[in-house]
Structure 1
Amino acid sequence: MKIILASNNKHKIAEINELLDNRFEVISLTEAGITEDIPEPYDTFEENALAKAQYAFDKTGLITFSEDSGLVVPALKGAPGVFSARYAGEPRSDARNTAKLLQDLEGYAERDAYYQTTICLVSGAKPMYFKGTCAGTIAENVQGEGGFGYDPIFIPQGYDQTFGQLSPAVKKSISHRAKAMALFITYIQEGLS
């Protein structure tokens, strides 16, 4: 059974296909014949994930899932949130986003934050959501060169190093995306069989 991931990220698609059994094959938007950009105009991860998944499902009739994720800093009223990838504006830049977040947090004692991922599955029935979070704090400065996005300034709860310093294996075992994906894959393999 083919399932569309409302993305063209080949690395992500390959990773998900490795986790699924051979009854399922995840394909990209391009492989499904969708070449246009899908807008993400909403203020919540859930609404943006639903918009992307619903768009692809409506165009193809194939079961589709989408993911929206970002970093939430309560002291900044939830920013950068759904604007995590473009927090410092266009063109998108991890370095500029990180620098802006550190600047915006200057003088704040409260530096708690969490990454959130929301996966939305659209199959013609009521949309299903699978969520994962990873709590932590924002470091005072960039530490480490691993990962991407805000990883070099995000220290996950229970650790004293940033995601930029921790090994990919550690990050994968505790990340927001891994938690949401585990719930999603369990549902797919048990609920869509």
Structure 2
Amino acid sequence: MADKEIVIATGNKNKLREFKEMLEPMGYTVKSIKDFDNIPDIVEDGKTFEENATIKATAVAKALNLPVFADDSGLIVPSINNEPGIYSARYAGDHDDDANNAKLLKRLGHSDDRNAYFHTSLVGVKPDGEKIHVSGVVSGEITTEEHGDNGFGYDPLFYVPSMHKTMAEMTDDEKNSVSHRGRALEKLKTVINDWW
């Protein structure tokens, strides 16, 4: 059977790797938007993770005439008004992990309530507009300093009690087993063939 081509609307090589590890064994060929030239500029002006993921996936699916998956993920810390939320990637500017982490630690200060969770909305859109949506959540807490170097974004600050380590201290397999994106991808695995 010929490989089934799916485009992931990301330029993030870490994120792409997670999709490849999950979908390629199922017979899908996974590409990123960096494999194509005619990708439009996309303004993610949605009010929710699902809206932003849908905006991204729809724009790229129309441009490439291929099925596209996009996710919008973020960290939510209830004690600081659910920040950074949909602004997670640009919390302290534009996609600067170190600055984002520093701002988060400063906002939390010496707070005792450091509970947090990561949320992913994963949306697939076909060129004809048919949509699929799954989501995933992982709960944890924000540490007072960074630990580990096998992650990106807020991973060095996000401690998962059941694993006794931060996301950035986990192996890829460990992270995929508990992460919000991993959980969304696991859900996707159960429904993607029917949607396809």
Q: Give the TM-score band, short-chain normalised.
A: 0.7 to 0.9
Q: Normalized against structure 1, the TM-score is what? A: 0.87
For 1:150, the aligned partner's letter is: Y
**Structure 2 match to 1:97:** 100
- Cα deviations by residue, 1:79-116 (Å, 9 ceiling, x for unpaired): 111111111113x3211111110110113221110011
2:83 is paired with a residue of what secondary structure? Answer: coil
Conserved 8 A contact 1:20-1:189: no
For 2:123, the aligned partner's letter is: C
1:110 is paired with a residue of what secondary structure? Answer: coil
How far does residue 23 in structure 1 lie from its aligned partner after superposition? Answer: 4.7
**Structure 2 match to 1:135:** 139
**Structure 1 match to 2:6:** 3
Query: 1:108 is matched with which residue: 106, 111, 120?
Result: 111
**Structure 2 match to 1:185:** 189
Q: Could you tell me which runs of 5 or more consecutive residues in structure 2 were left unpaired when the two chains were aligned.
A: none
- Cα deviations by residue, 1:131-170 (Å, 9 ceiling, x for unpaired): 0111001112222233111111111132332222233332
2: CA distance, partners of 1:59 / 1:142: 40
Q: Which runs of 4+ in 1 moved over 4 A?
A: none
2: CA distance, partners of 1:163 / 1:23: 28
1: CA distance, partners of 2:26 / 2:108: 46
- Matching of residues 36-115 of structure 1 within 5 Å: 36-90=40-94, 92-115=95-118
Matched, 1:151 2:155: yes
- CA spacing shift, 1:12–1:110, aligned 2, 3 Å: closer
- Cα deviations by residue, 1:14-47 (Å, 9 ceiling, x for unpaired): 5534533565322222434433332212231111
Q: Which moved more, 1:20-29 or 1:161-170?
A: 20-29
2: CA distance, partners of 1:96 / 1:178: 25
Q: Could you tell me which runs of 5 or more consecutive residues in structure 1 were left unpaired when the two chains were aligned.
A: none
> Percent identity, aligned pairs only?
36
Matched, 1:167 2:168: no
Richer in helix (by share)? 2
Number of residue pairs the alignment of both structures matches: 191
How far does residue 179 in structure 1 lie from its aligned partner after superposition? Answer: 0.6
Conserved 8 A contact 2:39-2:60: no
Richer in strand (by share)? 2
How far does residue 73 in structure 1 lie from its aligned partner after superposition? Answer: 0.6
- CA spacing shift, 1:64–1:105, aligned 2, 3 Å: same
What root-mean-square deviation, in Å, do the aligned CA atoms of Structure 1 and Structure 2 show? 2.2
For 2:179, the aligned partner's letter is: S
- CA spacing shift, 1:16–1:153, aligned 2, 3 Å: closer
- CA spacing shift, 1:11–1:112, aligned 2, 3 Å: closer
- CA spacing shift, 1:23–1:182, aligned 2, 3 Å: same
